[in-house]
């Protein structure tokens, strides 16, 4: 047997132990956006540092102005060095009443057809994903006492809450983190049987706005019609973000957005994609984006404006007839190609200010930004990774676009000057950021095996 064959056999034999380690980190409530969980978020960082140290990494918890980073180095070995990025923080669990079980009591659920899934917050985003890479390293160390290539692991604790401390951390540690290639495991497969390498991601611009009018909530019978209603004002502002054809109305919004290159359009057309099934899985049937654009274009190559949350006035049980003193909304823009997130933010604020009545004020809060990113897949690192994935899954790995945003990808490309290979084993129905998040057991198991193969391939 080759070393790789032995490593793959070890991964199979040690799967139960790998699941126990995954469950240990899943039980830690590392909700980075909520200060109430700061101590447990740090405990999660410490757990991962200790786990990396247990397999021979020089690992430590690094403080930032917010939640800590985890950095681990295994510098021994020949071949191109790699920087692996993941994040150990998770999304809040609200609404808790929609979970079938405790979000932080992970479990394996067996379906009637015998397939099994891991259920719990963080199973797919991103603890289950990052642990596929760590477990592959563990297996290589167990079998050979070494890794095929030098590896640095960087785990962030604020990816789900804006990542404001990642850029200064990268700036302060550029030489330490420098590598020949970067790897990220926070993306999806094409489908349950077809692995994928994500070669492009949309950028992001997040904004929170608060519209205020009267100095207190008002009785709607006494003040109705006479008093400005922040709910009405905010609703109109948000409704005006799109025209009748689904295009975003902000001034200059489409600057830097070319038509999709013909070669890329052709490659996407060859993918086995069913738009009706894609929407049907979530109970929808009509594409809501720009008129005349395919669903893949809408989700991979066109920019968006989405209202992620809004509220104002009484929202408890029963009924309360008030005109609220304030209303608020959280709005995000997914950006493509060369769109500038700072220009988009300025245009959005101008859009809002132009629609604020004299009796109202508006306050803005910034929630992160990042540019879109894309990579040329003809290079050897992409070809080797594709070959390793194809060998594991028995189907050609697809090069796909990504509709989401992983800001660290752009930061790594810009600050470290290296390509980023994004390989993930999540599925579209994993319910990330939602109640009952899950991760297929097959994704976890074959994800580990896939990374073991990729490390061997990168070593040449």
pLDDT digit string (tens) for 345-400? 999 999 999 999 999 999 999 998 888 998 888 889 999 999 999 999 999 999 99
Q: How many alpha carbons lie under 13 Å from residue 390 in its C-beta half-sphere?
A: 11
| pLDDT at residue 407 in the model | 80
- DSSP for 279-303 reads HHTTT--S--SSTT--HHHHHHTS-
Phi first, then psi, for residue 92 (nearest 5°) are -60, 160
Beta strand ranges found along 157-263 (DSSP E): 181-184, 196-201, 203-212, 218-219
Tokens of 151: 């590896």
Sequential pLDDT tens for the chain (460 residues):
899 999 999 999 999 999 999 999 999 999 999 999 999 999 999 999 999 999 999 999 999 999 999 999 999 878 899 999 999 999 999 999 999 999 999 999 999 999 999 999 999 999 999 999 999 999 999 999 999 999 999 999 999 998 999 999 999 999 999 999 999 999 999 999 999 999 888 988 999 999 999 999 999 999 999 999 999 999 999 999 999 999 999 999 999 999 888 877 887 888 889 999 999 988 999 999 999 999 999 999 999 999 999 999 999 999 999 999 999 999 999 999 889 999 999 999 999 999 999 999 999 999 988 889 988 888 899 999 999 999 999 999 999 988 887 888 989 999 999 999 999 999 989 999 999 999 999 999 999 999 999 999 999 8
Beta strands 203-212 and 361-370: pairing type? antiparallel
d(CA 322, CA 229): 10
Distances from the Cα of 94 to the Cα of 103, 300, 368, angstroms: 10, 28, 21
Find where tokens 């991103």 sit: 126
Distances from the Cα of 334 to the Cα of 218, 223, 354, 373, angstroms: 37, 39, 23, 12
| pLDDT at residue 147 in the model | 97
What are the residues whose beta carbons fall under 8 Å from the beta carbon of 248, sequence distance 6 or more? Answer: 241, 242, 254, 303, 304, 305, 333
The pTM (predicted TM-score) of the whole model is: 0.80
| pLDDT at residue 395 in the model | 94
| pLDDT at residue 116 in the model | 98
| pLDDT at residue 265 in the model | 82
Tokens of 447: 């994800």
d(CA 122, CA 120): 6
Q: How many CB atoms lie within 10 A of CB 429?
A: 14
pLDDT digit string (tens) for 39-54? 999 999 999 999 999 9
d(CA 359, CA 214): 8
Distances from the Cα of 151 to the Cα of 154, 178, 179, angstroms: 10, 11, 8
Q: Domains in the chain, please, with CATH? A: 3-201+373-459 (3.40.630.10), 203-257+303-370 (3.30.70.360)
d(CA 352, CA 347): 9
Tokens of 55: 């397999």
d(CA 56, CA 135): 13
Q: Are 426 and 432 in contact (CB under 8 A)?
A: yes
d(CA 84, CA 226): 59
Give the total residue count for the chain. 460
Distances from the Cα of 224 to the Cα of 219, 238, 323, 324, 356, angstroms: 8, 22, 7, 11, 19
d(CA 429, CA 447): 17
């Amino acid at each position: 047997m080759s070393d790789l064959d032995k490593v793959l056999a070890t991964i199979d034999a040690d799967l139960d132990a790998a699941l126990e380690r995954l469950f240990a980190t899943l039980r830690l409530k590392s909700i980075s956006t909520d200060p109430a969980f700061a101590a447990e978020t740090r405990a999660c960082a410490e757990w991962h540092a200790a786990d990396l140290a247990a397999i021979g990494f020089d690992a430590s918890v690094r403080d930032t102005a917010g939640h800590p980073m985890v950095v681990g180095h295994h510098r021994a070995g020949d071949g191109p060095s790699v920087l692996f990025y993941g994040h150990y923080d998770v999304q809040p669990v609200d609404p808790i009443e929609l979970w079938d079980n405790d979000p932080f009591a992970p479990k394996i659920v067996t379906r009637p057809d015998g397939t099994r899934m891991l259920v719990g917050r963080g199973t797919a985003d991103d603890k289950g994903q990052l642990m596929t890479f760590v477990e592959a390293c563990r297996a290589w160390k167990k079998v050979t006492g070494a890794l095929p290539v030098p590896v640095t692991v960087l785990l962030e604790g604020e990816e789900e809450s804006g990542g404001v401390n990642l850029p200064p951390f990268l700036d302060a540690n550029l030489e330490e983190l420098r590598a020949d290639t970067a790897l990220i495991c926070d993306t999806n497969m094409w489908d349950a049987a077809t692995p994928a390498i994500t070669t492009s991601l949309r950028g992001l611009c997040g904004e929170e706005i608060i519209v205020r009018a009267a100095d207190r909530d008002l009785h709607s019978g006494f003040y109705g019609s006479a008093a400005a209603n922040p709910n009405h004002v905010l609703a109109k502002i948000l409704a005006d973000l799109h025209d009748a054809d689904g295009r975003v109305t902000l001034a200059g919004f489409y600057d830097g957005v070319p038509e999709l290159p013909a070669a890329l359009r052709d490659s996407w057309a060859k993918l086995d994609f069913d738009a009706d099934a894609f929407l049907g899985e979530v109970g929808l049937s009509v594409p809501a984006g720009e008129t005349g654009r395919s669903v893949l274009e809408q989700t991979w190559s066109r920019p968006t404006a989405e209202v992620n949350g809004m509220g104002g006035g009484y929202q408890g049980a029963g009924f309360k007839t008030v005109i609220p003193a304030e209303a608020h909304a959280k709005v995000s823009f997914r950006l493509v190609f060369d769109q500038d997130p700072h220009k988009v933010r300025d245009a959005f604020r101008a859009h809002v200010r132009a629609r604020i009545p004299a009796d109202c004020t508006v306050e803005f809060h910034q929630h992160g930004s990042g540019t879109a990113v894309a990579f040329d897949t003809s290079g050897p690192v992409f070809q080797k990774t594709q070959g390793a994935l194809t060998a594991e899954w028995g189907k050609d790995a697809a090069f796909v676009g990504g509709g989401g945003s992983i800001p660290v990808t752009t930061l790594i490309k810009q600050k470290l000057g290296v390509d980023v290979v994004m390989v993930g084993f999540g599925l579209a129905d994993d319910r990330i950021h939602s109640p009952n998040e899950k991760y297929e057991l097959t994704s976890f198991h074959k994800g580990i095996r896939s990374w073991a193969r990729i490390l061997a391939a990168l070593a040449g």
